[in-house]
Amino acid sequence: MIVIARRFSMMGVLLCMMAAADVVSAQTFSSERHDFRVTTVTGGLVHPWSLAFLPNGDMLVTERVGRLRIIRNGALNPSPVPGVPEVALGGQGGLLDIALHPKFAENRLIFLSYAGAGEGGSGTEVARARLVDDALVDLERILEVRPKSIGGRHFGSRLLFGRDGYLYVTAGERASKNRAQDLGDLAGSILRITDDGGVPPDNPFVDRPGARPEIYAYGNRNPQGLAMHPETGQIWEAEHGPKGGDEVNILVAGKNYGWPVITYGRSYSGARIGEGTAKDGMAQPVRHWGVPSISPSGMAFYTGGDFPSWRGNMFLGALSGRALMRLVLDGTEIVHEERLLKDLGERIRDVRQGPDGHLYLLTDSPKGRLLRLDPIQ
């Protein structure tokens, strides 16, 4: 009876949110499979970066400027959540991703990634804290990418808990491309840690002298998309190339994804990078894009019932592409692509499926919005 009551309570919260959002203007779009509306749940966000859903129906949104916001009953709480870590704001850096602990309902733990300042500049960091009475308490840093460096590019910074219970963290190479091939450096890698920052004993480089044991895979430029396949449990990753060469990859322990030795992109001057597009021992992307780049960011697999013909599709936000990419899979191959919301003209930073089965999007703008895709019956 308690479980049923909680479900009805949550549905009530979601219905209130939807009713509040419907007061705001909605736009109608067509796709190959479904017609849908895009409804603004809330505006008033400054460069929102990531979204998480709480069991009580609230939403948490990070703003790159260093604020964590609560959306409750479809309304943005005017007061930011206190207790967030201090961030190094500049360029692409600031407060970035958010993830809930798999046992959040019991331990109230949330995880934040951000650009943190230190000797030599800034770098990707991860902290955890407890959410208690709309505030963060017991904040502690559990991961720091060093050395710090100057500049505001390529922090990566997606967070995802896998089925194994470990936290996967993407770390960009901070625009210093050779760092991605250095196993003694966390930059330019996908990292895998425990929920307190420890190293899982089966990480692929635990016993290799000179290698950082947190590294799960490497050779990544600026990975900003991370999602787990709902059936296989495989973790898929998307990263920015330079001029062209954006990629989608399937993560495999110990794999070298090639940057900057191999790439389908070129430098911004048009010059060639590395040794070509393939090399023995280096993974090929599942999908890559040429010029112009789409700049992939948030990623989600759709499993809901409101858009049955989208079930199993991957949705990928595109920043410079200003679109929502719908990617159709056949096993581990991407066999079809549709670009949605091109007429919206927004940089799509994050994509999440909500507990109500809808897709939610964050727009990267100083006047950022949380959007919801609703089916047209």
By annotation, the residues acting in catalysis are: 154
Collect all residues with Cβ–Cβ distance below 8 Å to 248 and sequence separation of at least 6: 225, 236, 237, 238, 285, 286, 287, 288, 296, 314, 316, 327, 334
Please answer whether residues 260 and 273 qualify as being in contact, where contact means their C-beta atoms are separated by less than 8 angstroms: yes
Please answer whether residues 327 and 250 qualify as being in contact, where contact means their C-beta atoms are separated by less than 8 angstroms: no
Sheet holding 75-76, edge to edge: 48-53, 59-63, 67-72, 75-76
Report the alpha-carbon distance of residue 73 to residue 16 in Å, rounded.
6
Q: Position of tokens 């990531």?
A: 50
DSSP string, 257-291: --TTTS-S-B-TTS---TT-S--TTBPPPSEEE-S
Alpha helices in the chain (DSSP H): 2-22, 104-107
**Distance between first and last Cα of the chain:** 32
CA 35 to chain centre: 26
Report the alpha-carbon distance of residue 138 to residue 83 in Å, rounded.
9
Collect all residues with Cβ–Cβ distance below 8 Å to 201 and sequence separation of at least 6: none
Please answer whether residues 50 and 155 qualify as being in contact, where contact means their C-beta atoms are separated by less than 8 angstroms: no
Collapse the DSSP code of 304 into the 3-class scheme (helix H, G, I; strand E, B; otherwise coil) and give the result: coil
- Biggest CA–CA distance in the chain, Å, is 65
Task: Show the tokens assigned to 365.
Answer: 């703008």
How wide is the angle at C-alpha 288 spanned by C-alphas 341 and 353, nearest 5°?
45
